[in-house]
């Protein structure tokens, strides 16, 4: 692609990506895959690290997303409530299937019957960070839900996903036999809500460039460029982005 940034500095060797998402949000899965595609355009010895931040969406408008208390709802109704006026569920599902196909994702909406509580899925993903497998587990949870309609609120199903992703037996035992990670999950979510986050996905690149909502691959590529090669004008905005990064951590 043509480089549009006029004044470039040397790229950092490490590159942090903070992703705020929920496992029942199809745009979150698209966003994760689109970022992966955009990262394929990076040149040189840059090691990206994707950090997952939980943000549970309520099953229906007005319902609390308290741990273990999110009521189940038919997926089509859930999706309908998150669409702009004038956009039908059929159109949204068709568009998501087409966008997913280009990224190697399969949205089998006919397999999905309910919207489960995602607390346990987020907890497993949080614990997976201890073994450097957070992104692998997150991708596995998305595939299980959107490709197979599996119950990602079920601990046994999630344990199987974690095992397939390479998590250790000790960590999976801790996941099954305790509530490790729940308090941290809730606190992280409260920080995000306090910062004004109300939906997903949201991404922060290198603590510098914030991209809210679902966008296309080219937009993510531009965000990567801006984060790696900031202009003089972009550096002036670093204080605001740094505050966003502080809240995320």
170 in any annotated domain: yes
Q: Answer yes or no: is pLDDT of 53 > 50.
A: yes
Render pLDDT for 112-165 as a digit per residue (tens, 0 to 9): 988 999 999 999 999 999 999 999 999 999 999 999 999 999 999 999 999 999
On whether residue 4 sits in a domain, the answer given is no
The answer, yes or no, to whether residue 210 has pLDDT greater than 70, is yes
Integer Rg of the chain from CA: 18
Q: How many CA atoms lie within 13 A of 106 on its CB side?
A: 9
CB 115 within 8 A of CB 59: yes
Q: Across residues 192-216, what is the average pLDDT?
A: 90
- CATH number where 140 lies: 3.40.30.10
201 prior amide bond cis, ω within 30: yes
Length of the chain: 249
Residue 216 lies in a domain: yes
pLDDT at 6: 34
Domain count, the chain: 1
Q: Report yes or no: 227 and 205 within 8 Å, Cβ to Cβ.
A: yes
Between 244 and 121, the higher pLDDT residue: 121
Q: How far apart are CA 44 and CA 142, in angstroms?
A: 30
Position 26 in a domain: yes
* pLDDT class of 207 with cuts at 50, 70, 90: confident
Decide if 2 is inside a domain.
no
Q: Which domain covers residue 103, as residue numbers?
A: 14-248
Residue 62 falls within a domain, yes or no?
A: yes
Which of 126 and 208 is assigned the larger pLDDT? 126
Structure tokens at 34: 């689109």
Round to whole Å and give the CA distance between 223 and 202.
12
Calpha distance 31→16 (Å, rounded): 16
pLDDT reported for residue 59 = 62
- Give the model's confidence band at 56: pLDDT under 50 very low, under 70 low, under 90 confident, else very high: very high
Q: Does residue 1 form part of some domain?
A: no
With respect to residue 3, please indicate whether it lies within any of the assigned structural domains.
no
DSSP code for 71? P
């Amino acid at each position: 692609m043509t480089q549009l940034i006029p004044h470039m500095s040397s790229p950092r060797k490490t590159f942090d990506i903070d992703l705020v998402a929920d496992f029942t949000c199809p745009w979150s899965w698209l966003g994760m895959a689109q970022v992966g595609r955009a990262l394929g355009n990076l040149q040189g010895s840059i090691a990206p690290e994707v950090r997952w931040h939980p943000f549970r969406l309520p099953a229906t408008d007005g319902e609390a997303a308290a741990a273990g208390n999110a009521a189940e709802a038919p997926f089509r109704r859930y999706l309908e409530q998150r669409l702009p006026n004038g956009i039908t569920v059929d159109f949204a599902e068709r568009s998501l299937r087409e966008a997913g196909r280009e990224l190697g994702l399969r949205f089998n909406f006919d397999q999905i019957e309910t919207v489960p509580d995602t607390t346990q899925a987020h907890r497993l993903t949080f614990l997976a960070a201890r073994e450097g497998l957070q992104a692998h587990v997150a991708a596995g949870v998305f595939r299980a839900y959107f490709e197979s309609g599996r119950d990602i609120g079920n601990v046994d199903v999630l344990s199987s996903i974690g095992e397939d992703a390479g998590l250790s037996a000790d960590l999976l035992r801790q996941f099954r036999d305790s509530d490790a990670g729940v308090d941290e999950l809730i606190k992280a979510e409260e920080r995000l809500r306090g910062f004004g986050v109300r939906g997903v996905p949201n991404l922060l690149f290198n603590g510098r460039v914030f991209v809210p909502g679902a966008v296309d691959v080219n937009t993510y590529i531009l965000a990567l460029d801006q984060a790696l090669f900031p202009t003089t004008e972009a550096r002036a905005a670093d204080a605001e982005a740094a505050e966003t990064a502080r809240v995320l951590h």
